[in-house]
Amino acid sequence: MTNHSTPVIQTDNLSKVYRSGNKEVQALNNLNLSVRQGEIFGYLGPNGAGKTTTIRLLLDLIRPTGGSASLFGLDAQRDSVAIHRRIGFLPGELNLWKNLTGTQVIDYVARVRGGVDRKLVNQLSERLDFDASKRVRDYSSGNRRKLGLILALMNQPELLILDEPTNGLDPLVQQTFNDLMREIRAEGRTVFLSSHMLGEVQSICDRVGILRGGQLQAVESVAALRRVDFEYVTIRFRDPVRVDVLAGLPGVTNVTVDGNTVRLCLHGDYNPLLVALRDQYIVDIDTEEPSLEDIFLSYYGNGTNAHKPAETVKEMAS
């Protein structure tokens, strides 16, 4: 058993440079990450950030060009066999035997692994609304993902490593997925999942790590990220706008005007804005969620637009 204080995942300057011909790609650069037992950790980053590379390194599917990783306090390379027994893994791209049915794939993997609870398999299939009788090649990408999830969950691993698990899942199934992850956490098990969508993971993750260009930019609790919630608002007026009414409004920054259209960044409640605009004729309001990059920049400040919760500033300074 893992000691409660031993991180389930720990990396020490973990690095990977891919070399092909005379081209080099630094896919992961000195990653120092620690994932605790019993948490749902979201590994967030845009495509190409190095998420899959990290996961492959953790699983010893590829070798680092620098640094090391340990899982359950065991060395990712030397102890990979023992580690794999305790992990459920969902790869980003699932290459399954296309001519087998879902049931046959499950049976085969169950026989190889041993110790699979049939009742659990049936329960998972039912909850995910997965029809195991079809052939793999006839499954949609969403159904392949469900099959992959069943394979990852069915021997009740201590640690789940899921590479973009919600890609291609419809919203209802995503809800079930979220429930499953929370149940796993409630049992003291650990989930490490990657995603390129903050919105998708913020409802289930306890903490998120933000990766960009192979570098870990930040590790934050989701609660802290929530506090910097903002959105872009575009308002189209019937008449030319008087921007002076927007100056100094609480939560309003980055006001730009283009003819009868105003674009601004709004933190927090709408009410002050709507009250200030009550005498002007509004044709249309459009809102847009910030990208991960924008939230990140807002969080860590790119000059005057910084909007940081006080306690985080303290955390970062310490």
Q: Which residues bind Mg ion (CB under 5 A)?
A: 51-52, 92
- Cβ proximity to ligand ADP: between 7 and 45 the closer is 45
d(CA 292, CA 246): 26
Would strands 215-221 and 74-75 be described as parallel, antiparallel, or unpaired?
unpaired
Q: Cβ 58 to Mg ion, closest distance in Å?
A: 13
**How many residues of this chain interact with ligand ADP, rule: CB under 6 A?**
12
Q: What are phi and psi of 227, to 5 degrees?
A: -65, -15
Q: In this chain, which of 47, 95, 304, 318 binds ligand ADP, going by CB under 6 A? A: 47
- Which listed option, ligand ADP, Mg ion, none, makes contact with residue 45 (CB within 5 to 8 Å by class)? ligand ADP
- Cβ proximity to ligand ADP: between 5 and 22 the closer is 22
Which tokens go with 75? Answer: 């060395």
Give the helix ranges, DSSP H, for the chain: 51-58, 80-85, 102-113, 118-127, 141-153, 171-186, 198-201, 222-226, 271-276, 292-300, 310-317
CB 202 within 8 A of CB 226: yes
- Cβ proximity to ligand ADP: between 18 and 97 the closer is 18
Q: Cβ 46 to ligand ADP, closest distance in Å?
A: 7
| C-beta nearest to Mg ion: residue | 52
Q: Cβ 55 to ligand ADP, closest distance in Å?
A: 8
- Cβ proximity to Mg ion: between 37 and 166 the closer is 166
d(CA 312, CA 314): 5
Question: What DSSP designation does 164 have?
Answer: S
- Cβ proximity to ligand ADP: between 56 and 307 the closer is 56
Q: In this chain, which of 45, 64, 88, 102 binds ligand ADP, going by CB under 6 A? A: 45
Query: What mask of x and - would describe binding to ligand ADP in positions 4 to 43, judged by CB under 6 A?
Result: --------------x-x----x-x----------------
Q: Cβ 256 to ligand ADP, closest distance in Å?
A: 32
- Cβ proximity to ligand ADP: between 27 and 87 the closer is 27
Would strands 9-20 and 23-31 be described as parallel, antiparallel, or unpaired?
antiparallel
Contacts of residue 259, defined as CB under 8 A and 6 or more positions apart, other chains included, come to: 240
- Considering only the stretches 47-55, 97-105, 201-209, 259-267, report the one whose residues sit in contact with ligand ADP under the rule CB under 6 A: 47-55
CB 205 within 8 A of CB 220: no
| Closest of 258, 256, 260, 259 to residue 246, by C-alpha | 256
- Which listed option, Mg ion, ligand ADP, none, makes contact with residue 125 (CB within 5 to 8 Å by class)? none
Angstrom CA distances, 309 to 85, 171, 204, 224, 270, stand at 41, 31, 21, 7, 19
- Which listed option, Mg ion, ligand ADP, none, makes contact with residue 97 (CB within 5 to 8 Å by class)? none
- Cβ proximity to ligand ADP: between 65 and 178 the closer is 65
Q: What are phi and psi of 106, to 5 degrees?
A: -60, -45
Would strands 190-195 and 40-44 be described as parallel, antiparallel, or unpaired?
parallel
Q: In this chain, which of 35, 51, 90, 225 binds ligand ADP, going by CB under 6 A? A: 51
Residue ranges in contact with ligand ADP by CB under 6 A = 18, 20, 25, 27, 45, 47-53
